[in-house]
Structure 1
Amino acid sequence: MAEQPGVAVMGASGRMGRMLIQSITEGDKLRLVGAIERAGHDWLGEDVGVAMGGTALGVAVTDDLLDPLTKARIIIDFTAPDVTVATAALAAQARAVHIIGTTGMTEDDLTKVDAAARHAVIVRAGNMSLGVNLLVQLTRKVAAALDDDFDIEVVEAHHRHKVDAPSGTALMLGEAAADGRQIDLRDVYDAARDGITGARSTGHIGFSAIRGGDIIGEHDVIFAGPGERIVLSHRASDRALFAKGALKAASWGLQQEPGHYSMLDVLGL
Structure 2
Amino acid sequence: MTRIAIAGAAGRMGKALIEATQKHPHTTLGAATVRTGSSLVGVDAGELGNVGKLGITLVDNIAAVIDQFDVLIDFSSPLATLEHVKLCAAHNKPIVIGTTGFSAAEKTELLAYQTQIPLLLSANFSTGVNLCFKLLDLAARVLGDEYDVEVYEAHHRHKVDSPSGTAVRMGEVLANALERDLDKVAVYGREGQIGPRPRDTIGFATVRGGDVVGDHTVMFMADGERVEITHKASSRLAFANGAVRAAVWLQQQKSGLFDMQDVLGLR
Q: Which residue is equivalent to 1:112? A: 109
Q: 1:45-80 deviations in whole A, cap 9, x for unaligned?
A: 222224556632111111111122122111001111
Once the two structures are superposed, the pairs formed by residues 256-267 of structure 1 within 5 Å of their partners are 256-267=253-264
Residues 43, 51 of structure 1: 8 Å contact kept: no
Residues 19, 50 of structure 2: 8 Å contact kept: no
Q: Which residue is equivalent to 2:121? A: 124
Cα distance in 1, alignment partners of residues 42 and 68 from structure 2: 18
More displaced, 146-155 or 211-220? 146-155
1:203 counterpart = 2:200: yes
Cα distance in 1, alignment partners of residues 62 and 111 from structure 2: 20
| Partner amino acid, structure 2, of 1:139 | L
What is the count of residue pairs matched by the alignment?
266
Q: 1:163-187 deviations in whole A, cap 9, x for unaligned?
A: 1111011011111111111222112
| Partner amino acid, structure 2, of 1:195 | G
Q: Which residue is equivalent to 2:214? A: 217
Q: Secondary structure at the residue paired with 2:87?
A: helix
Q: Which residue is equivalent to 1:91? A: 88
Q: 1:196-222 deviations in whole A, cap 9, x for unaligned?
A: 322222201000111111111110000
Q: Secondary structure at the residue paired with 1:230?
A: strand
Q: Secondary structure at the residue paired with 1:147?
A: helix
Determine which of 243, 249, 254 is the counterpart of 1:252.
249
Q: 1:216-237 deviations in whole A, cap 9, x for unaligned?
A: 1110000111121111111111
Q: Secondary structure at the residue paired with 1:148?
A: helix
Flag structure 1 segments of 5+ consecutive residues without an equivalent. none
Residues 155, 215 of structure 2: 8 Å contact kept: yes
Determine which of 178, 186, 191 is the counterpart of 1:189.
186
Q: Which residue is equivalent to 1:137? A: 134
Q: Which residue is equivalent to 1:179? A: 176
| Partner amino acid, structure 2, of 1:113 | L
| Partner amino acid, structure 2, of 1:239 | R
* Offset of residue 195 of structure 1: 2.4
Cα distance in 2, alignment partners of residues 32 and 174 from structure 1: 35
Determine which of 232, 235, 242 is the counterpart of 1:235.
232
Identity among equivalent positions (%) equals: 39
Q: RMSD of the alignment, in Å?
A: 1.3
Determine which of 15, 26, 30 is the counterpart of 2:27.
30
| Partner amino acid, structure 1, of 2:250 | G
Q: TM-score, normalised by structure 2?
A: 0.96
More displaced, 114-123 or 27-36? 27-36
Cα distance in 1, alignment partners of residues 194 and 39 from structure 2: 46
Q: 1:146-166 deviations in whole A, cap 9, x for unaligned?
A: 232311000001111111111
Q: 1:234-255 deviations in whole A, cap 9, x for unaligned?
A: 1111211111100110011011
Choose between structure 1 and 2 for higher RCO, CA contacts under 8 A separated by at least 6 residues. 2
